Each structure stands twice: as C-alpha cells, then as structure tokens.
C-alpha cells in the first residue's frame, strides 16, 4: 500500500475541511431554489449580490467574480501596467505567478517581473526601497504560501503601503489566504485590504468552496477588468456553480478563522515536539504551515503508513523530497482537525515520535 491509499483509508485527517468530492457542491445547492435564475455573462442577481457582498467585506468600491485567481491577478497587473505605461511588476520569487502559471504573465502580457527578496524570506520594506528599477505594481502574497505561509509584521505592510503611494507604485494583494491571516494581525479583511489598491481572494482554500475568485478595487479598475475577463474567455454565460458554493462556504467558514489558526498553532507544537520534525514557521501565523522531516521520504512514508493503519488518523497523502534525508508537506487546518479527540491526537504524535526514534 502506498501513502495515498493508506491516507484514503483513515477515519480522521489533520488537514483540510474534507474530501473534494461532489458532496461539496450538493451541500451548497441543497437549499437553493430550483427556479432561481442563472447569472448571464456577468449580470443577474446571483453574481451581482455576491460581488457587492465581497466588495463590502473587503472594503472596496467594487468587485468582480472570476473563475480563477490566476486570471484575476494577471489582469490586475496588466491594468496597473497599462495605466503607468510600464510593463514591469515586482513580486516574490515563489509567487504563484512565477511558478504555477506557465509564465502566463510573460507570454500573454509581456510583463517583466522583478523578483523581490530571497526566496526563503518574506518581502520587507528594504527589498522594495532597494529596487534599482521602477515598476507599475508590487504584488504581496499574504501569507507567503511556498515558505510555509509566513507574514511580515503589520507595521511593515503599513510602511510598504505608504512608500508605494509616495512613489506612485500600485500595491496588489494576493489574498488567496486573506481570511486566514486576520486572526494573527487582529485586523479585518477590509483593514488589511485598505493598504492595497487591488485585492484578490479565493474561495477554495480556507473557505473550502469549489473554485473561483474575487478581484476588488475601485470601480473603474473593476470595469476595466471585466473587459479582460471577457478577452480571456472567463466571462462565462453561467458562473453560478462557483458563486453559489463560494457564498455558501464563505458564510459557513469565514467566521472560523480563529479556530483554524489556534488549531494550527496546537498542531505545530505537537510536530515540533517530535525528534527530527520541525514546522515552518515554527509558530504558524495563519491556519497553514509546512512540516519538515529530517528523515528520508522513504523512511517517513513507511512510518506514516504504519501510523495511519494503527490509529486511523491521516497526516498527509504526499511528501515532497527535498534531499537524501529530508522531505516536507503542507498543512492547512480546517474543519477536520476539531473532529479528532484530543487523546487520539496526542497518541498519534507519541507513536510518531517513538517510531522516528527507533
């Protein structure tokens, strides 16, 4: 049996909200009126009301629903570049745009990115002040997912925002996990967003919906983004399968971020008590973190499969190899964690620690 198969047979799982299956859609639609009309190419009650709701939640004038964040963010950067007449933006070396989008920003828009900060660090004010070229827009991803979900201090965000406004550089928030950082910063999503000119949020990470994104900003910016949405083929005749589910899970989970954050801190402590295991960050600043093992991927897979069989609790379905004797995986705490009795949780980590020490 491999790790994925063993994981699928566990009764409890530490990470996430639940399986990504058709029940996610069925639950969201169960109470929906069958006669409710579809949205039509960006118009209609379903899409307009949700856009207004999220604009308000994010404290922005206007918002538009996109099928994906990839589409929304490329478009946001394109608009800021067009306005300044400079096809240059700056972001982190491990930004989603740089490593997960097949160079869409470069191949579609011919926008050149300036990479800010070392890839293992978050972007600080000095990185921005130290740039030796002008850019139209800086994108900050909060939290920085690929390094375990790290964050700069809130004061840093404020000083970056002030600096960018002075220098005529637009600031865009990659808020794929924006809800998830509100407990750490002790700020609302609108307060954080107020430091940015445009903001994107996702509905299938902390919120646990099916797919989809919102881009928010000033009205003229959002109107312009709608033309690009059509150019991209993102202005679907019906986006309601994603909107209805986004709305349903937003209402269900956007209030739970404190619980996920506390759960992540508890879980990270349990991991860090084990020999040869550490989390990044050591103390999470959102619901997410990375678990690093100072053991080979092969050894850890063996240990984890046995652990899943003994306890019925699954930690992860995959491990990424980083060296001969190191590997890691990502944790995003959601609804699942709270379903596990605390004694069983402690038992898993005791067994894990014992097995590793053998």
Q: Does 211 bind its own copies (CB under 8 A)?
A: yes
Among candidates 305, 298, 267, which has minimal Cα distance to 283? 267
What is the footprint of its own copies within residues 221-280 (CB under 8 A)? 227-228, 230-242, 244
Q: One symbol per residue from 105 to 144: x for binding its own copies (CB under 8 A), - otherwise; what is it?
A: --xx------------------------------------
Tokens 């964040």 locate to 69
User: With left for phi above 0 and alpha for psi between -120 and 50, is residue 174 left, alpha or beta?
Assistant: beta
Among 16, 25, 61, 112, binds its own copies (CB under 8 A): 25
Nearer to its own copies by C-beta: 70 or 182?
A: 70
Distance, CA of 63 to CA of 137 (rounded, Å): 19
Q: How far is the CB of 156 from its own copies (least distance, A)?
A: 29
Among 17, 51, 57, 67, binds its own copies (CB under 8 A): 67
Total site size for its own copies, rule CB under 8 A: 50
The C-alpha angle with vertex 204 and arms to 262 and 322, in degrees rounded to 5, equals 70
Q: One symbol per residue from 185 to 204: x for binding its own copies (CB under 8 A), - otherwise; what is it?
A: -------------------x
Both structure tokens of 320: 């990424």
- Select the span of 64-72, 145-153, 282-290, 295-303 touching its own copies (CB under 8 A): 64-72
Q: Does 10 bind its own copies (CB under 8 A)?
A: no
- Select the span of 103-111, 136-144, 179-187, 261-269 touching its own copies (CB under 8 A): 103-111
Distance, CA of 299 to CA of 277 (rounded, Å): 13
Between the CA atoms of 219, 225, 230 and 234, what dihedral angle is there, to the nearest 10 degrees?
Answer: -110
Nearer to its own copies by C-beta: 72 or 270?
A: 72
Q: One symbol per residue from 33 to 62: x for binding its own copies (CB under 8 A), - otherwise; what is it?
A: xxxxxx-x----------------------
What is the footprint of its own copies within residues 151-180 (CB under 8 A)? none
Nearer to its own copies by C-beta: 213 or 348?
A: 213
Among 101, 127, 146, 174, binds its own copies (CB under 8 A): 101
- Select the span of 70-78, 149-157, 271-279, 326-334 touching its own copies (CB under 8 A): 70-78
Both structure tokens of 344: 């069983």
Q: Is 310 helix (H, G, I), strand (E, B) or coil?
A: helix
Among 51, 68, 287, 316, binds its own copies (CB under 8 A): 68
Sequence-separated (6 or more) residues with CB below 8 Å from residue 167:
none
Is residue 151 within 8 A of residue 124, CB to CB? The reply is: no
Q: How many CB atoms lie within 10 A of CB 232?
A: 18
Nearer to its own copies by C-beta: 20 or 165?
A: 20
Is residue 290 within 8 A of residue 328, CB to CB? The reply is: yes
How many C-alpha atoms does 150 have within 13 Å on its Cβ side?
17
Nearer to its own copies by C-beta: 6 or 117?
A: 6
Nearer to its own copies by C-beta: 123 or 213?
A: 213
Is residue 153 within 8 A of residue 129, CB to CB? The reply is: no
Distance, CA of 73 to CA of 201 (rounded, Å): 10
Q: How far is the CB of 7 from its own copies (least distance, A)?
A: 13
Q: How many CB atoms lie within 10 A of CB 324?
A: 8
Distance, CA of 262 to CA of 268 (rounded, Å): 10
Nearer to its own copies by C-beta: 51 or 182?
A: 51
Among 69, 152, 183, 206, binds its own copies (CB under 8 A): 69
Q: How far is the CB of 135 from its own copies (least distance, A)?
A: 21
φ/ψ of 329, rounded to 5, equals -150, 170
Contacting positions for its own copies (CB under 8 A): 19-26, 29, 32-38, 40, 66-72, 74, 101-104, 107-108, 204, 210-211, 227-228, 230-242, 244
């Amino acid at each position: 049996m491999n790790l994925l198969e063993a994981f699928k047979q566990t009764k409890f799982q530490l990470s996430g909200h639940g399986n990504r299956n058709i029940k996610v859609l069925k639950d969201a639609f169960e109470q929906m009126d069958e006669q409710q009309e579809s949205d039509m190419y960006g118009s209609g009650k379903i899409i307009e009301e949700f856009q207004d709701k999220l604009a308000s939640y994010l404290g922005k004038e206007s918002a538009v629903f996109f099928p994906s964040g990839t589409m929304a963010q490329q478009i946001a950067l394109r608009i800021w570049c067009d306005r300044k007449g400079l096809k240059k933006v700056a972001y982190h070396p491990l930004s989603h745009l740089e490593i997960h989008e097949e160079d869409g920003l470069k191949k579609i828009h011919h926008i050149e990115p300036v990479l800010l900060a070392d890839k293992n660090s978050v972007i600080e004010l000095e990185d921005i002040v130290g740039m030796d070229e002008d850019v139209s827009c800086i994108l900050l991803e909060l939290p920085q997912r690929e390094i375990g979900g790290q964050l700069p201090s809130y004061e840093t965000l404020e000083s970056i925002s002030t600096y960018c406004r002075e220098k005529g550089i637009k600031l865009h928030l990659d808020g794929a996990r924006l809800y998830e950082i509100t407990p750490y910063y002790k700020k609302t999503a609108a307060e954080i967003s107020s430091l940015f000119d445009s903001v994107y949020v996702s509905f299938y990470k902390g919120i646990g919906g099916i797919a989809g994104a919102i881009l928010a900003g000033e009205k003229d910016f959002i109107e312009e983004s709608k033309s690009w949405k059509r150019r991209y083929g993102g202005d679907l005749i019906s986006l309601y399968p994603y909107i209805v589910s986004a709305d349903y899970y937003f209402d269900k989970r956007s209030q739970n971020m404190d619980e996920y954050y506390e759960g992540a801190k508890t879980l990270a402590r349990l991991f860090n008590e084990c020999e040869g295991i550490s989390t990044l960050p050591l103390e999470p600043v959102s619901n997410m973190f990375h678990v690093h093992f100072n053991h080979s991927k092969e050894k850890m897979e063996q240990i984890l499969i046995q652990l899943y069989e003994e306890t019925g609790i699954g930690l992860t379905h995959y491990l990424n190899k980083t060296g001969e004797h190191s590997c890691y995986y990502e944790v995003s705490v959601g609804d699942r964690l709270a379903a596990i009795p605390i004694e069983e949780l402690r038992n898993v980590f005791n067994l894990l620690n014992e097995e590793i020490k053998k």
